[in-house]
Amino acid sequence: MERPIRVLVAKPGLDGHDRGAKVLARALRDAGMEVIYTGLRQTPEQIVEAALQEDVDVIGLSCLSGAHNHLFPRVTQLLKEKQAEDILVLGGGIIPEEDIPGLLAAGISAVFTPGTPTSAVIDYIKEHVKR
Amino acid sequence: MITEKEPMKPTDWAERVASGDRRALARVISFLENDDRQGVEVLKELYSRTGRAHVIGITGPPGAGKSSLLDKIIGELRSQGKTVGVVAVDPTSPFSGGAILGDRVRMQGWTGDAGVYIRSMGTRGSLGGLARATYGTIQLLDAAGFDYVLVETVGVGQSEVDIVRVADTVVVVTVPGLGDDIQINKAGITEIGDVFAVNKADLPGSERVATELELMLDLGNHQIWRPPVVLTVAATGQGVSELVRAAQDHYTTLQKEGKLAERRLAREKEALLLRLVERVRREILSIWAQKELSELWAALSARRLDPYTLEENVYKAWKGAKDE
Amino acid sequence: MAEEKDLRKAKEAWEQGTLAKVTARFPERKAEFTTLSGMPVERLYTPLDTAELDYERDLGFPGQYPYTRGVQPTMYRGRLWTMRQYAGFGTAEESNERYKYLLEQGQTGLSVAFDLPTQIGYDSDHPLAQGEVGKVGVAIDSLADMETLFAGIPLDKVSTSMTINAPAAVLLAMYIAVAEKQGVPSRKLSGTIQNDILKEYAARGTYIFPPKPSMRLITDIFAYCSQNLPEWNTISISGYHIREAGCTAVQEVAFTLANGIAYVEAAIRAGLNVDSFAPRLSFFFNAQMDLLEEVAKFRAARRLWARIMKERFGAKDPRSMMLRFHTQTAGCALTAQQPDNNIIRVTIQALAAVLGGTQSLHTNSRDEALSLPTEESVRIALRTQQIIAYESGVTNTIDPLAGSYAVESMTNRIEKEAQAYLERIDKLGGAVAAIEQGFIQREIQESAYAYQRAVESGERIVVGVNKFQVENEQPPEIHKVDPEVERRQCAKLNELRANRDNGKVSQVLAELREAAKGDDNLMPYILESVRAYATLGEICGVLREVFGEYQPAVIF
Ligand code: B12
Ligand SMILES: Nc1nc2c(ncn2[C@@H]2O[C@H](COP(=O)(O)OP(=O)(O)OP(=O)(O)O)[C@@H](O)[C@H]2O)c(=O)[nH]1
Ligand SMILES: [Mg+2]
């Protein structure tokens, strides 16, 4: 049996929009992944530490409150500090088109915006997990 | 990065785990979960360092508040200056093989604390309320130097009592309002508990559950330890320090009476036996699909061959395969 | 009943004759038709489906029990609904400008959106506020900001709705204090605070304190306002967010009214007479895409609430039984793809709200799924309401869809199914217990996931998303929040802390702390605190110390 991919689905910042994150968590589970959900109001530090303790393959950051430019790069930066760049980091939520290049440059592998089918996220993860 | 170009040797992993390297610990747990041989090799290196942690198992029906209680138990232990490793097991979906590991979210407040390590785990097909990798993980956490190792089982029904095979102290969590269909005595959990928590004591009926438990426990034959019953409210932390004290008393009693080593040895032996049986089971399964056998199935079906002779034949075939 | 029998026969004959002939050659598009919420929809509704409806008992007349047909006797023939666009961003200065613009455009009430730190009781310089200040609403740290927010807006002339929940008492106190400075007595203030903590736990996420002290703050507000702000809606019991989190129409009605029941019970337990506060309870619903289902939902909610207030709580004042509500069109129905299509969606949703008899309405903008709306988009959204109001003709007669076999039948069904949920929730110990046990959250999530799967499988069509897509869409201009807001806001806050009477601040906060430990009404203490320019974060900090913080029940 192939080992299940482990994913941390996280809600950084004060944003309370969790519908998308929870739908995604379930979809990933139904695709055979092990999903750990952090709950709301997480700091980048907490997210990275949880990801390391859980030895996840993927961190999924969901943010709809507009704080992504502040929060997402902080997560990738901390991962770098911990030498954990082998964790794939995805972002999703309300992310304006023009912010995406900056996030990609900061080490977010891909950004998914409203209307994306969860199957696209699943395919992306399966194709891109780094280990 | 942890995926070094040069593959690390078990001794290196062991050293890193023992020195408190969180990433190494996390990765070795993954080896165990994924049946990667490296995991066991590391455990071999570390076994001599185990035996120091007090292992507390938390079990009880789904939604009883095990994780919420754990959150508060961690707090109590931290305020005593102790370090805590946690393994929390949730069920894997038999359909997709995936899982939502939902225990961590209740303890997520501890994530920044250097004295706490939390690991979530899916059962991945195990039925006893734990995952196959749970025991090894406990040993790793023990070797990594945590004073306490807390293990949360999946929400158990009647027969998932593997926790007694891994814990020094088993805390059984129950709640009021489970209804008559899940009576505590039927669940067989009175036999496995060293400490009982009646959680959600803020809800009506908890006193009654506690009394029933006490009565039931009075019937038991307790040599050195009579399991206490503690009322708790995980939401507020009420009763938690009492609960922790009870678990600690249980542990010191075991130590004082010389039962701890006995209990652990029995556990180790049982685990060993299970591993051996599992190993044999797998080997037998590997010849199960062989051609030679499939011819015999027809004979069995047509009643030309009896199953007992067949058993002899399969056994011999397995032994033959072994001796080759 | 002879008629009924005849009709049944006639219907069968039609089914086996005329209909069967056609369906044999041209089968219907689907085997089963359902509403957006998954409620089965019949091919045809006839008087057979509304046979048990008793006009006077179940529908009655507008402004009369059970209010199915509306809460006012003349409805929109008398006065149109209040057009109220939810807005706020950046600093108090910027939001103040937007409000003045909206009032100039013919909007008739204000609706304030606060940023997340404000909603969660943190000052703008709190570490967790980083990156969030002024992003999704206006940042308010102290009375000084509130003074700026309403500068030049006479508070006795506008009605103001504030989407504020956990710290509602603090923002209300600030509003009262601003009015004082304008020389407007609190008796003259009209408006609404959302103040609905239960749906924050269940669906919206800006909770602070655990349920018990939160309910106390709410009943303190009820009591204070019944004495001092008779025109103020002390709570807006909200199904909107629950629906947006993914639930069905029936669940929206059920969970909202269950929360309503919990508030009424809490207030009665706190010693209030039901008719002293119930007339000031208001509601807030969603208007989704399925027009008929939505109209039925509003009507069912009105009837059900009236019955609950009369039968369960023994209310005597008719106003206690009237379910008055604000409506917002469904944001989650709006798409990032081909955003102009959203204008049409909003039109249908707004029409549902009006046909359902709403008292006030927010229409979402076409850029809903992209960012906060631009000024131009907000204008189109407001124009949509104005076109319905002045051109469509639906406002000329009251409750025009009444008597439709389909709508009456759906109204009955929604009421019945919501009632069944209410019974289940009662069994669990009421809404607070149901939320603590995660029951409501689980129900919402199941529905949200089912919807997502239906869209992904193509079973449910969303135009532009899973059908009729276009390649290479050009992203439209979107609203941007000035990234400097946070720095400016923190600077203002530092200045405030340096210039106010800090001795006075510690004194009022100490008094607040003591009061919080006891059981005095907290409103007067909070009012004293804001008058002394204690910040929102300081006030909530004191309450956090005494009350603790809510631990969410995350459920899958
Ligand atoms: C539903 C909703 C709500 C609900 C949330 C319910 C809940 N529990 O989630 C309610 C009504 C409570 C709500 C409240 C608010 N909302 Co709102 N809300 C929305 C809305 C309409 C839809 C979001 C949604 O759930 N969609 C359905 C889910 C399934 O889609 P999704 O989250 O986008 O997720 C998909 C993708 O984005 C992606 N994805 C998302 N996360 C992730 C993560 C990873 C790792 C990956 C790979 C993919 C991924 O995959 C998902 C599947 O397709 C959006 C507008 C819109 N149409 O998008 C506004 C919107 C997000 N809200 C907004 C605002 C401002 C608020 C408030 C802050 C308003 C206020 N000032 O009070 C409040 C406060 C909420 C809070 N506590 O933070 C703004 C945000 C503006 C901005 N960022 O600039 C929006 C954009 C509306 C607008 N245009 O003004 N909201
Ligand atoms: N009223 C009350 N509710 C509680 C208490 N403890 C936990 N809960 C609630 O019970 C629910 C389940 O709590 P968990 O801690 O997840 O229970 P669990 O036993 O870990 O659940 P599983 O791991 O899924 O088996 C949550 O909604 C908690 O908020 C308590 O003492 N009183
Ligand atoms: Mg648990």
Q: Using alpha carbons only, what angle is made at residue C24 by residues C20 and C27, rounded to the nearest 5 degrees?
A: 105
Task: Tell whether ligand 2 has an atom less than 6 A from the beta carbon of residue B66.
Answer: yes
> Is C437 an 8 Å CB contact of chain B?
yes
The whole-number pLDDT of residue B324 equals 60
A105 token code pair: 């440059």
State the average pLDDT over residues B277-284: 86
Residue B140 vs residue B292, higher pLDDT:
B140
State the average pLDDT over residues C468-476: 89
Quote the mean pLDDT of chain B: 89
> Is C553 an 8 Å CB contact of chain A?
no
> Is B100 an 8 Å CB contact of chain A?
yes
State the average pLDDT over residues C143-168: 96
The whole-number pLDDT of residue C2 equals 67
Q: How confident is the model at residue B203 (pLDDT cuts 50, 70, 90)?
A: confident
Chain A contact set for B83 (CB, 8 A):
none
Q: Where are the domains of chain B?
A: 1-47, 50-257, 269-323
Report the CATH number of the B50-257 domain. 3.40.50.300
Q: Of B149-158, B205-214, C504-513, which gets the smallest average pLDDT?
A: B149-158
With CA atoms as reference, report the closest residue to C522 among C175, C214, C217.
C217
Name chain B's partners: 3 or more CB pairs within 8 A.
Answer: A, C
Q: How many residues does chain A have?
A: 131
Nearest C-alpha to atom 14 of ligand 2 is from which residue? B65
Residue B263 vs residue B289, higher pLDDT:
B263
Nearest C-alpha to atom 1 of ligand 2 is from which residue? B200
The whole-number pLDDT of residue C95 equals 92
Q: Is a pLDDT exceeding 60 seen at residue A1?
A: no
Q: Of A78-82, A124-128, B294-298, C381-385, which gets the smallest average pLDDT?
A: B294-298
Superfamily of domain A6-128 in CATH is Cobalamin-binding domain (3.40.50.280)
**Are A19 and C204 in contact (CB < 8 Å)?**
no
B162 token code pair: 């593997």
The whole-number pLDDT of residue B160 equals 65
Task: Tell whether ligand 1 has an atom less than 6 A from the beta carbon of residue A120.
Answer: no
B101 token code pair: 């590991």
DSSP state of C17: I
| Residue B205 near residue B177, CB atoms below 8 Å | yes
Which residue out of B104, B119, B146 would a mutagenesis test of the A interface target, given it has the greatest number of A Cβ atoms within 10 Å?
A: B104
Cα C181 from Cα C176, distance rounded (Å): 9
The whole-number pLDDT of residue B159 equals 60
Q: Name the range with the highest mean pLDDT among B178-182, C64-68, C480-484.
A: C64-68
State the average pLDDT over residues A85-99: 96
Q: How far is the CA of B122 from the centre of ligand 3 (A)?
A: 12
Q: Which ligand is nearest to the CA of C336?
A: 1
Q: How far is the CA of C554 from the centre of ligand 2 (A)?
A: 10
Cα B187 from Cα B196, distance rounded (Å): 14
Q: Is a pLDDT exceeding 60 seen at residue B5?
A: no
Q: Of B103-107, B161-165, C110-114, C182-186, which gets the smallest average pLDDT?
A: B161-165
pLDDT, tens only, C230-252: 999 999 999 999 999 999 999 99
Task: Tell whether ligand 1 has an atom less than 6 A from the beta carbon of residue C462.
Answer: no
Which residue of A14, A22, A94 is in closest CB contact with C132?
A14
Name A35's bridge partners.
A7, B100
Which residue of C116, C246, C465 is in closest CB contact with A115?
C465
Q: Is a pLDDT exceeding 80 seen at residue C108?
A: no
Share of chain C above pLDDT 90, in %: 92
Cα B101 from Cα B89, distance rounded (Å): 7
Which residue of C437, C551, C556 is in closest CB contact with B102?
C556
**Are A13 and C205 in contact (CB < 8 Å)?**
no
Q: Of A1-10, B47-56, C287-296, which gets the smallest average pLDDT?
A: A1-10
| Residue B133 near residue B275, CB atoms below 8 Å | no
pLDDT, tens only, C333-350: 999 999 999 999 999 999
| Residue C134 near residue C486, CB atoms below 8 Å | yes
Q: How confident is the model at residue B183 (pLDDT cuts 50, 70, 90)?
A: low
Q: How far is the CA of B135 from the centre of ligand 2 (A)?
A: 25
Which residue of B26, B98, B120 is in closest CB contact with A32?
B98
Kindly list the strands in the beta sheet with C235-238, ordered across the sheet, starting from the edge strand earlier in the chain.
C82-83, C360-362, C325-329, C281-287, C235-238
Query: How many beta-carbon pairs below 8 A join chains B and C?
Result: 14
Q: Candidates C89, C128, C136: which one to mutate for ligand 1, based on the most atoms within 8 Å of Cβ?
A: C136
Q: Which ligand is nearest to the CA of C556?
A: 2
Nearest C-alpha to atom 12 of ligand 2 is from which residue? B63
DSSP assignment string, B81-145: T--EEEEEEEPPPTTTS-EEE-SHHHHGGGTT-TTEEEEEEE-TT--SSS-TTHHHHHHHHHHTT
The whole-number pLDDT of residue C106 equals 81
Return the H-helix or E-strand segment holding C86: strand C86-87
Q: Is a pLDDT exceeding 80 seen at residue B284?
A: yes
Which residue of C129, C244, C478 is in closest CB contact with A96?
C478
Name chain C's partners: 3 or more CB pairs within 8 A.
Answer: A, B
Task: Tell whether ligand 2 has an atom less than 6 A from the beta carbon of residue B68.
Answer: yes
State the average pLDDT over residues C158-176: 97
Q: How far is the CA of B177 from the centre of ligand 3 (A)?
A: 18
Give residue B275's identity as a one-letter amino acid code: R
State the average pLDDT over residues C389-397: 98
- Closest chain C C-alpha to A40 CA, distance in angstroms: 8
Q: How far is the CA of C341 from the centre of ligand 1 (A)?
A: 19
Task: Tell whether ligand 1 has an atom less than 6 A from the beta carbon of residue A58.
Answer: no
What is the phi/psi pair of residue B55, to 5°? -95, 120
DSSP assignment string, C372-418: SPPHHHHHHHHHHHHHHHHTSSTTSSSSTTTT-HHHHHHHHHHHHHH
A115 token code pair: 């209307």
- What are the contacts of C272-275 at 24+ separation with CB within 8 A? C272/C219, C272/C222, C272/C223, C272/C226, C274/C309, C274/C313, C274/C314, C274/C315, C274/C320, C275/C315, C275/C316, C275/C317, C275/C320
Cα A54 from Cα B104, distance rounded (Å): 10
Task: Tell whether ligand 1 has an atom less than 6 A from the beta carbon of residue A114.
Answer: yes
Nearest C-alpha to atom 10 of ligand 2 is from which residue? B65
Closest residue, chain B, to C555 (C-alpha):
B102
Distances (CA, A) of C386 to A74, B204, C317: 45, 54, 33
Task: Tell whether ligand 1 has an atom less than 6 A from the beta carbon of residue C163.
Answer: yes
Handedness of CA C169, C172, C176, C181 (dihedral sign): positive
- Reported as half-sphere exposure (CB side, CA atoms, 13 A), residue C527 has a value of 18
- Closest chain A C-alpha to B96 CA, distance in angstroms: 5
**Are B102 and C554 in contact (CB < 8 Å)?**
yes
Give residue A105's identity as a one-letter amino acid code: A
State the average pLDDT over residues C523-527: 98
Cis peptide before A12, with omega less than 30 degrees from 0?
A: no
Nearest C-alpha to atom 29 of ligand 2 is from which residue? C553
For chain B, the C-alpha Rg in angstroms (whole number) is: 22
- List all residues of chain C from 103 to 122 with a beta carbon under 8 Å from chain A: 116-117, 120, 122
Cα B195 from Cα B116, distance rounded (Å): 23
Q: Which residues of A touch B (CB under 8 A)?
A: 1, 3-4, 6, 25-26, 28-39, 42-43, 45-46, 49-50, 52-55, 82-86, 131
For residue A21, the ligand 1 atom closest to its alpha carbon is 41
> Is C549 an 8 Å CB contact of chain B?
no
State the average pLDDT over residues B47-59: 96
Q: Is a pLDDT exceeding 90 seen at residue B8?
A: no
Q: How far is the CA of B200 from the centre of ligand 2 (A)?
A: 8
| Residue B248 near residue B282, CB atoms below 8 Å | no
Report the CATH number of the C55-457 domain. 3.20.20.240
The whole-number pLDDT of residue B279 equals 86
With CA atoms as reference, report the closest residue to B263 among B188, B175, B165, B180.
B165
**Are C556 and A26 in contact (CB < 8 Å)?**
yes
The whole-number pLDDT of residue B181 equals 44
State the average pLDDT over residues C493-502: 97
Residue C387 vs residue C556, higher pLDDT:
C387
Distances (CA, A) of C506 to A73, B42, C528: 39, 58, 12
Name A59's bridge partners.
A8, A89
Q: How many residues does chain C have?
A: 556
Closest residue, chain C, to A27 (C-alpha):
C449
pLDDT, tens only, C261-273: 999 999 999 999 9
The whole-number pLDDT of residue C482 equals 85
The helix/strand/coil state of C241 is helix
Chain C contact set for A65 (CB, 8 A):
116, 132, 135-136
The whole-number pLDDT of residue B179 equals 58
pLDDT, tens only, B230-277: 999 998 899 999 999 999 999 999 999 999 999 999 888 988 998 899
Q: Is a pLDDT exceeding 70 seen at residue B323?
A: no
Q: Which ligand is nearest to the CA of C445?
A: 1
The verdict on pTM exceeding 0.90 is yes
Handedness of CA B298, B299, B303, B306 (dihedral sign): negative
Q: Is a pLDDT exceeding 50 seen at residue B296?
A: yes
Q: Candidates B68, B90, B178: which one to mutate for ligand 2, based on the most atoms within 8 Å of Cβ?
A: B68
Task: Tell whether ligand 1 has an atom less than 6 A from the beta carbon of residue A47.
Answer: no
| Residue C142 near residue C163, CB atoms below 8 Å | no
